[in-house]
Amino acid sequence: MTNFIEILIRGVMLGSLYALVGMGLTLVWGVVGIVNIAHGEFVMLGAYLAFWSFSLLHLNPLLSVVLAIPVFFFAGTMIHKRITERLTKAPELSALILTFGMSILIWNLAQFFWTNTYRSVPYLTGSFPFFGLVFAKSKTVSFFLAIGITAALFAFLKYSRLGKGIRATSQNPEVALVCGINTIKMRAVTFGMGIGLAGAAGAIVSLQWVIFPQMGASYVSKAFAIVVLGGLGNIQGALAGGLIIGVLESLVTQYWSAKMAQIIPSMTILLILLLRPTGLFKR
Amino acid sequence: MKKEDKKGLSRRDFLKGTVIGTAALGMGGFAGKTVFAQAKAPIKIGVAISLTGAWAREGELEAGGYKLWGKVINERGCTFGEVEKLGCPGPGLLGRQVEFVVYDDKSDPSEAIKLIRKLVVSDKVDLILGPYGSAVSNAIAPLAEDYKIPIITPLANAPVIWEGKKREWFVGVLPAAWRNLFGCLQIGKEKGVKTAAFIYSDTAFPIGATRPLVARAKEMGIQVVLDEAYPKETADWEPMMSKAWSQKPDLIIGGGYLPDSIGLVKAAKAVNATPKMFGFLVGPAISDFAKSLKGDATYVTGETFWEPFVKTPGNLDFYSAYLKEYKSEPSYHAAAGFAAGQILERAAKEVNNIEDKKALRDKLYSIKTTTIFGEYEVNPLGHPDSGWQVGKATNLIQWQKAEGKRLLPNQVAIEGMVKQIVFPSGVKTADVIFPFPGWGK
Amino acid sequence: MKDLIGGHKTWLGIAILMAFLTLIPFFATDYWMTLLVLILIFTVYASGWNLFSGLTGYTNFGLAWFIGVSGYVSSLLIADHKFFWLFAWPIGALFVGIVSIGVGYILLRIKGVYFAISMVALTEGTRELIGTEYLEPITHGGKGVPFVAGISLSALYWSVLLLAFITVIICYKITSSKFGLRLMAIREDEQAAETMGIHTTRDKIIAFALSAFLTGLAGAIHFTYQNYIDPSFGFTIHLTLTPIVMTLFGGVGTVFGPAIGATLFTFIHEILWAELTILYMAIFGAILIALILFFPQGLLGWMKERGILPRIRKI
Amino acid sequence: MELGIWLLEFGTQVQQAYFLKELKRNRMQKEPLLRIDDVVKKFGEVVALDHCSFDIERGSITGLIGPNGAGKTTLFNLITGVLQPDSGHVFFKGEEITGKKPYEIARKGVGRTYQIIRIFPKMTLLENLIVVGKGRERKVMERAMELLHLVRLLEKRDDYASDLSFGQQKLLSLAQVLMFDAELILLDEPAAGINPTLQNELMALIHRLNEGGKTFIIVEHDMSVIMNHCQNAIALNYGQKIAEGSCSLVQQDERLLEHYFGR
């Protein structure tokens, strides 16, 4: 039983990180209308940001998480203004191919500059006991960071003027435009936020896992499952979806097999698309 | 950044060399023709190897070994160790300069097939040295038979390549994969362990290296509490490690490649797994492992085929030559690449000709020699598993604290730890530390 | 509907080209033949993709699924059941063709990006499924299936040449047929097409299965050429994306676009990669971005727009 | 002997079958071309059609009127099978078509045009027609040319449909419906947004086709179009039929006027 609870909680911790990646993807997809295949690459860049600032500047990786958000936000808005804004009226295939090209470009440049060497940030390794259960320090801290960022995101969307504008743009861009909302700006800001979330998630990932140029790919498929599960553009849905995927992965690995756990994301996508194309959670 | 540049072989320098070399040869071998106009034509050696993609790191190290061998033989006419006894007649192999034509197979077997054909047919190379890894080696092995050109593949040992295949033109350098972590079982048995868990990546090499051990563990009376392959795409090893540790086994054995071993150690610490011994594939022998894990790498064991401090003939010379050439530490990949060159060198010198491919092949299948990498002997022609390396032993290393130990020549401390060979007893440099004392101890 | 390409000169040109291509094994080197084999395989992939996605507008992001499933079936038949390659290939292709009728029936009701994602999920899911403990006894799981089909390079080349020729002819015939027009109507406005009496579901499924069969056949040949298949090579996303990029390069929805795209693309790739080993992939990514931003209609589309080629569908 | 009995039985069966078929045909001829029977359609809480019933006779031109959101387009979608009713039935030529697929209904002879034109823009005019045609290639081609001539777009046959003007696109859309020999043609605001000359031309064409035996249901906001061109009118509001009858009758209906003209 303790084992079960331990695994459940680990699943939630894992899920919180997935949710962070998924929320970024769903924001960009829902508001900007772009399926960003390169999303995982920004997670990778976030992880490298944390790694380099740790190993060169001896910056605490937790600070890197905070640092990553504005850096990636700014980068994201620039990328959108220069490149992806042109895609808003193009067919969906264009966005898929373009962001795929972006993904290849980014990870290969990363490979070129930083080589294939596998790296990790040896910080907060190990575990601590908690009422007879054992939890990883890094994951626990990551969990609270992820929760903090999620809460801040919710508050921002709910209460700030900009956040309201983003929600309006996501619900009906034409009406929003008529109401005097600068939808181009909104889209750029949202794209920036999505990338910012990916960067933050990457910095958190650096605490837990191995860092290498091609690591982004493994997050994208999970993020897609989360977006489909939670419903397109639905932030709360993505949060719930991330937690569900994380918990399922933990439980299935333990009580069934790791290979079956790996099938979960793709099966989720297929099932949800067939049974409830709008996602599991109502907006 | 600086620190990073020093470690490993600098990729840009390396590639510059590759590309320029390739380009020159691609244009009809101008360099060769002008410089060595008076001498005999150079020996062209073709290499299609992973310089990008999943196995880029391993591939570039291996290719580094090849090139170093070429450079040394071009300068001296022989390389180090046993082959030196055959004499050093001056520049080149059999008096001819060695040139490499190197292509990148992008870690894709399909690409490698095309490139081997290109090397044989368009570039008309005289000889071929193998790619990195079992998957690509397996894909190109039939081409060696088709073109009747001998290929020495230094870094492939999955059983599927040789088992029952009767390969006639394809020889390996690595010992069979199941030997990799066999030392863990042996040591465990001696120390009286009762249970073991096996977790490994679901790809050809880890399966080939781990599954036979599961059977052997049972034969040895060790209870196997978990035998599970995890998906290749795994990025978080914590659930898997947690599953293994929930059975509280005495041994946790498995892994896949470098990231697996790093991830598994991190995960083991994160779930506070403290079995009596850890044994992981590939990673522990590579210095990146210790560099990224720091102190947590201590007491983890893994297989090694070669170390800078092993006492194979000529090893010290190789080590210093490599350090001089690339300004960084060689790994066993580089040593294996160099050794493949040495095997070729020995066979060529004994046949005294490289035109007669069949004679060369026969020699490769029949010689027994020792390179800087260790013994070389393959199953002879006519054997069902012909071409499979049987001479070499696999050693087990364990990362131990460097403090208070006298280091052997070329034994380097990384993050306060050193690699010690702990198995088999004949070549060990230190006693194994058993059981695992716990994290941070 | 002036039949500009139906002129005798054009057909004579095509006949000469085919004769030349057929005779290649008698004088070309193995390397050139290998290169041509890859070009032809990718021509079939790209044309097969275009046949369904280019005409119906349903973006198929699961081409690797067709290739991998057929590749697996045929490879297992050759490796474990000692089938002759010539029989194994069509069985693999038929298998994926028939299964894709069912898959199409289920998945083709999903529209837009979601369809693309569902196909990616299907590919990924199948790849994982092949590795599971349940299918491992049949598929060999992650160990992969190494085999030697005992086919000469020339035979391989002629097979794939014939296949590529048939594929292009089929694409040409379909594009200029009422069936092709119906598929295009689906792309333009599926609901309107349906209220005009077009059985859209049936037409989509037929095109989907035909595309699966042709790409599957090429996939079976591809893995025979490679002597090896395992889950990660059989279902890699590159097998989906490279043909799509080739099609975009040549022109989506055109008949010869995919073939031209595959040829040019493979050559550029061959040159670039020889010179720029490591930056090659990065440049590939940059080309993709540039293609979408500046060249969205592909080479043939661009030429048609400039009036270099007539604006007819049969090219 | 047994064979004789069998033959006799068979003969009777054939006779019976013939009789039944005849009966069915007679009944079908008495049946109205289209019968809407107690149809209900809800979108969540909103009732788009509320127990709506009416008949459309062969050879008539019926105007369907009502304010925005009255359920006119929903009704069209239900008839053509794009949407399924929650309850109620739709009969075409006496045969139930509720639950049938749109293409099946279209093949039975129901055609429609859309309010926002939905032709196939990246196909030529000729292709736009050929694609919906049935039968042999040559016949289809001839018929397509004929119809393009009828809607005076013959010269533009090799242009992309997207190059046409709005009004021309409406004509093309009508030609498409004629192409697959629809008996009942549903027109969603055919006259809106096109110039009066073209409008007159279009209406004249509709009358000509009507004389040739086609039945029309027209949704139109311009009351003058309805009054001048339709024999009957049906008025909808909030998904309910509030009036039905000859045009003049409907116009006089108090409730309708209230709703429609805001009195």
pLDDT at residue number D7: 63
Q: Which of 92-121 (C) contact A at CB < 8 A? A: 106-107, 110, 112-114, 116-118, 120-121
Would an 8 Å CB–CB cutoff place D190 in contact with chain C? Answer: no
From the list A42, A38, A44, A45, the residue with the least C-alpha distance to A100 is A38
Phi and psi at B324, nearest 5°, equal: -70, -40
CB atoms inside a 10 Å sphere around CB C130: 23
Q: How far is C104 from chain B (nearest CA, A)?
A: 28
User: Which tens digit of pLDDT belongs to each residue from B173-191?
Assistant: 999 888 899 999 999 999 9
Rounded CA-CA distance B418/B298 in Å is 9
| Contact criterion met (CB < 8 Å) for B271 and A134 | yes
User: Which tens digit of pLDDT belongs to each residue from C208-230?
Assistant: 999 999 999 999 999 998 888 88
Q: What is the four-CA torsion angle of C262, C265, C266, C268, rounded to 10 degrees?
A: 160
Rounded CA-CA distance C210/C200 in Å is 15
Please state, rounded to an integer, the average pLDDT across all residues of chain B.
86
pLDDT at residue number D1: 52
Rounded CA-CA distance C8/C25 in Å is 28
**Strands of the sheet with D87-92, listed across from one edge:** D46-56, D34-43, D87-92, D95-96
Task: Give the mutation candidate from B5, B60, B228, B236 for the A interface (greatest A CB count, under 10 A).
Answer: B236
pLDDT at residue number B171: 95
Rounded CA-CA distance C254/A108 in Å is 32
* Residue D263 Cα distances to A55, B355, D248, D256, D260, angstroms: 79, 106, 18, 10, 8
Query: Which alpha helices (H) appear in A83-215, and where do they start and end?
Result: 92-114, 137-159, 161-171, 173-178, 183-208
Whether residue B424 has a cis bond before it, omega within 30° of 0: yes
Phi and psi at A214, nearest 5°, equal: -95, 15
Would an 8 Å CB–CB cutoff place A93 in contact with chain C? Answer: yes
Instruction: List, in sequence order, every residue forming a beta bridge with B228; answer none if it has no partner.
Output: B199
pLDDT at residue number C99: 97
pLDDT at residue number B39: 59
Judged by average pLDDT, the poorest of B397-401, D65-69, D146-150 is: D65-69
From the list D203, A252, D125, C141, the residue with the least C-alpha distance to B232 is C141
pLDDT at residue number D17: 67
**Which residue of A lies nearest to C282 if distances are taken between CA atoms?**
A105
Rounded CA-CA distance B129/B289 in Å is 28
pLDDT at residue number D74: 87
Cβ-based contacts under 8 A for chains C and D: 78
What ipTM, to 2 d.p.? 0.81
Pairing of strands D240-246, D232-237: antiparallel
Would an 8 Å CB–CB cutoff place A261 in contact with chain B? Answer: yes
Q: How far is C312 from chain D (nearest CA, A)?
A: 9
Rounded CA-CA distance A211/A119 in Å is 5
CA atoms within 13 A on the CB side of C198: 31
User: Which tens digit of pLDDT belongs to each residue from C49-97?
Assistant: 999 999 998 989 999 999 999 999 999 999 999 999 999 999 999 999 9
pLDDT at residue number B165: 87
From the list C25, C46, C82, the residue with the least C-alpha distance to C219 is C46
Whether C281 and A104 have beta carbons less than 8 Å apart is answered as yes
Q: Does the CA dihedral A123-A126-A132-A133 come out positive or negative?
A: positive
Rounded to the nearest 10 degrees, the angle between the axes of helix B182-190 and helix B204-219 is 20
Give the residue-averaged pLDDT of C118-146: 89
- Give yes or no for residue C305 having a pLDDT over 90: no
**Which residue of B lies nearest to C32 if distances are taken between CA atoms?**
B118
Out of B54, B233, B243, whose CB is closest to A253? B243
Rounded CA-CA distance A164/A181 in Å is 10
Rounded CA-CA distance D106/D94 in Å is 16
CB atoms inside a 10 Å sphere around CB D16: 10
Q: What percent of chain D has pLDDT over 70?
A: 84
Would an 8 Å CB–CB cutoff place C282 in contact with chain A? Answer: yes
- In which band, very low, low, confident or very high, does the pLDDT at B425 lie, cut at 50, 70 and 90? confident
Give the residue-averaged pLDDT of B415-421: 91
Instruction: List, in sequence order, every residue forming a beta bridge with D187; answer none if it has no partner.
Output: D218
- Give yes or no for residue B8 having a pLDDT over 60: no
- Give yes or no for residue B13 having a pLDDT over 80: no
Question: Across the 283 residues of chain A, what is the mean pLDDT of every consecutive 10-residue run?
Answer: 84 92 92 89 95 91 91 94 84 83 91 83 84 86 92 90 84 78 86 95 89 86 89 88 93 90 89 81 60
User: Which tens digit of pLDDT belongs to each residue from C183-212?
Assistant: 999 998 898 898 888 899 999 999 999 999
Rounded CA-CA distance B14/B335 in Å is 16
Would an 8 Å CB–CB cutoff place D137 in contact with chain C? Answer: yes
| Contact criterion met (CB < 8 Å) for D123 and C184 | yes
Judged by average pLDDT, the poorest of B383-387, B413-417, B435-439, D227-231 is: D227-231
Rounded to the nearest 10 degrees, the angle between the axes of helix A258-275 and helix B238-245 is 130
User: Which tens digit of pLDDT belongs to each residue from C147-197?
Assistant: 888 888 899 999 999 999 999 999 999 988 889 999 999 998 898 898 888
CA atoms within 13 A on the CB side of B175: 18
Rounded CA-CA distance B227/B87 in Å is 51
**Which residue of A lies nearest to B56 if distances are taken between CA atoms?**
A116
| Contact criterion met (CB < 8 Å) for C30 and B120 | yes
Q: How far apart are the first and last CA of chain C?
A: 12
Long-range Cβ pairs for the range D256-262 (8 Å, 24+): D256/D65, D259/D66, D259/D67, D260/D65, D260/D66, D260/D67, D260/D235
- In which band, very low, low, confident or very high, does the pLDDT at C1 lie, cut at 50, 70 and 90? very low
Q: Does the CA dihedral D154-D155-D158-D164 come out positive or negative?
A: negative
- The one-letter amino acid at C305: E
Would an 8 Å CB–CB cutoff place D47 in contact with chain C? Answer: no
Which chain B residues are Cβ-neighbours of A43 within 8 angstroms?
Answer: none
Query: Which alpha helices (H) appear in C61-111, and where do they start and end?
Result: 63-81, 85-107
- In which band, very low, low, confident or very high, does the pLDDT at D20 lie, cut at 50, 70 and 90? low
Q: How far is C54 from chain D (nearest CA, A)?
A: 13
| Contact criterion met (CB < 8 Å) for B269 and A127 | yes
User: Which tens digit of pLDDT belongs to each residue from D243-256?
Assistant: 888 777 776 765 66
Whether A200 and A72 have beta carbons less than 8 Å apart is answered as yes
| Contact criterion met (CB < 8 Å) for B243 and A258 | yes
Would an 8 Å CB–CB cutoff place A253 in contact with chain B? Answer: yes
Whether D240 and D74 have beta carbons less than 8 Å apart is answered as no
Out of B242, B258, B288, whose CB is closest to A7? B242
pLDDT at residue number A118: 79
pLDDT at residue number D8: 62
User: What is the value of pTM for the model shown?
Assistant: 0.85
Out of B1, B11, B238, whose CB is closest to A10? B238
Which chain A residues are Cβ-neighbours of B1 within 8 angstroms?
Answer: 52, 56
Would an 8 Å CB–CB cutoff place A274 in contact with chain C? Answer: yes
Would an 8 Å CB–CB cutoff place A192 in contact with chain C? Answer: no
Q: Does the CA dihedral A221-A227-A230-A235 come out positive or negative?
A: positive
Whether A123 and A53 have beta carbons less than 8 Å apart is answered as no
Convert A219-275 into a string of H (helix), E (strand) and C (coil): HHHHHHHHHHHHCCCCHHHHHHHHHHHHHHHHHHHHHCCHHHHHHHHHHHHHHHHHH
pLDDT at residue number B4: 38
Which chain D residues are Cβ-neighbours of C188 within 8 angstroms?
Answer: 119-123
**Which residue of C lies nearest to B54 if distances are taken between CA atoms?**
C232
User: Which tens digit of pLDDT belongs to each residue from B270-308?
Assistant: 899 999 999 999 889 888 889 888 889 999 999 999 988
Q: How far is B199 from chain A (nearest CA, A)?
A: 10
Q: Which subunits count as partners of chain C given 3+ CB pairs below 8 Å?
A: A, B, D
| Contact criterion met (CB < 8 Å) for D127 and C193 | no
pLDDT at residue number B186: 93
User: Which tens digit of pLDDT belongs to each residue from A145-167?
Assistant: 999 999 999 999 888 888 888 88
Out of D102, D176, D179, whose CB is closest to C194? D102
Q: How far is A252 from chain C (nearest CA, A)?
A: 13
Q: How far apart are the first and last CA of chain A?
A: 35
Instruction: List, in sequence order, every residue forming a beta bridge with D52; answer none if it has no partner.
Output: D39
Would an 8 Å CB–CB cutoff place D145 in contact with chain C? Answer: no
Tokens of C43: 């021509």
- In which band, very low, low, confident or very high, does the pLDDT at B372 lie, cut at 50, 70 and 90? very high
Q: How far is A124 from chain C (nearest CA, A)?
A: 33
**Radius of gyration in angstroms for the set of CA atoms belonging to chain A, rounded to a whole number:** 18
Range of A274-278, B24-28, B158-162 with top mean pLDDT = B158-162
Rounded CA-CA distance C48/C240 in Å is 11
Q: For chains D and B, tell me whether 3 or more CB atom pairs sit within 8 A of each other.
A: no
Task: Give the mutation candidate from A36, A220, A259 for the C interface (greatest C CB count, under 10 A).
Answer: A259
Q: Which subunits count as partners of chain D given 3+ CB pairs below 8 Å?
A: C
Beta strands in B5-92 (DSSP E): 43-49
| Contact criterion met (CB < 8 Å) for D102 and C182 | no
Whether B85 and B112 have beta carbons less than 8 Å apart is answered as no
Out of A115, A122, A137, whose CB is closest to B8? A115
Give the residue-averaged pLDDT of D138-156: 88
Rounded CA-CA distance A62/A66 in Å is 7
Rounded CA-CA distance C155/C158 in Å is 5
pLDDT at residue number B376: 93
pLDDT at residue number C277: 63
User: Which tens digit of pLDDT belongs to each residue from D52-111?
Assistant: 888 888 888 998 888 777 788 888 889 998 888 888 899 998 888 988 888 999 988 898
- The one-letter amino acid at A209: W
B397 Cα distance to chain centroid: 15
Rounded to the nearest 10 degrees, the angle between the axes of helix C153-175 and helix C30-49 is 30
Rounded CA-CA distance D263/D256 in Å is 10
Q: Could you tell me how many residues make up chain D?
A: 263
pLDDT at residue number B14: 42
Would an 8 Å CB–CB cutoff place B108 in contact with chain C? Answer: yes
Whether A93 and B406 have beta carbons less than 8 Å apart is answered as no
Whether C232 and B117 have beta carbons less than 8 Å apart is answered as no
Instruction: List, in sequence order, every residue forming a beta bridge with A52; answer none if it has no partner.
Output: none
Task: Give the mutation candidate from C41, C124, C143 for the B interface (greatest B CB count, under 10 A).
Answer: C143
Please state, rounded to an integer, the average pLDDT across all residues of chain C.
88
| Contact criterion met (CB < 8 Å) for C143 and B22 | no
- Give yes or no for residue B149 having a pLDDT over 90: yes
Which chain A residues are Cβ-neighbours of C128 within 8 angstroms?
Answer: 259, 262-263, 266
